[in-house]
A and B are shown apart, each in its own frame.
Chain A
């Protein structure tokens, strides 16, 4: 069974640009979550989607947005990039038949560098 796939692995952008990251969950997983990982702040929750609907959102500005498609694939978009957006962005999927019993399965992340 294929794992969570994130593309691209690495991105370099300049301030003010926008970026779109892609995530394909494990087959059969309908929940997709996004996390930002930085050395200073650790892992921070961005948002979670289930069946094309955003169920939860973390404490990030509106420049961060996402969506989920009918095949459960998800994208996140960051507009007007700032230097502080440089981070590893992790996507995770999970089964949702039992919310509390289902661990997250992570992709290898997209490393975004903003210059």
Chain B
């Protein structure tokens, strides 16, 4: 079965600094990987996806993610964090027709 892990429950970063939210995956076959963000009392919003092609994927709101096959990782990154980026971030993998989500990482950007 496909699975994703997010090793950090919480990430704190100062505004203006680069941020990284980590994700590792375990899949059989080709990985189809996604990042979502959830703001308080809202549903999840799609940020970006990796299906095939370039290992660096660019997404919404200045986010990007780096796919690393040898390390089975798909870390989310942003060069300069904003306070408004504070939210819950989920990594997900396609498992047939379904999605399997990681446990989430809470990002806090401090002013």
Contact = CB atoms under 8 A, between A and B. Distances in A.
A58 B96 CA distance: 13
30 contacts: A4-B43, A35-B101, A42-B101, A42-B102, A42-B103, A42-B104, A43-B44, A45-B98, A45-B99, A48-B97, A48-B98, A55-B97, A90-B44, A92-B43, A92-B44, A99-B97, A100-B94, A101-B51, A103-B46, A104-B44, A104-B46, A104-B99, A105-B46, A106-B36, A106-B45, A107-B43, A108-B43, A109-B41, A109-B43, A111-B41
Interface of B: 32, 34, 36, 41-46, 49, 51, 90, 94, 96-104
A38 B83 CA distance: 25
B36 to A, nearest CB: 8
Contacts, number: 54
A53 to B, nearest CB: 12
Contacts of A103: 34, 46, 49
Question: Which of B42, B44, B45, B101 gathers the greatest number of chain A CB atoms within 10 Å?
Answer: B44
The 10 closest A-B pairs by CB, nearest first: A106-B43, A43-B101, A103-B46, A106-B44, A108-B43, A100-B32, A42-B103, A56-B97, A107-B43, A45-B98
Interface of A: 4, 6, 33, 35, 42-43, 45, 48, 55-56, 58, 90, 92, 99-101, 103-109, 111
Contacts of B103: 42
Contacts of B100: 45
Contacts of B101: 35, 42-43
Contacts of B49: 101, 103
A100 B99 CA distance: 10
A4 B45 CA distance: 11
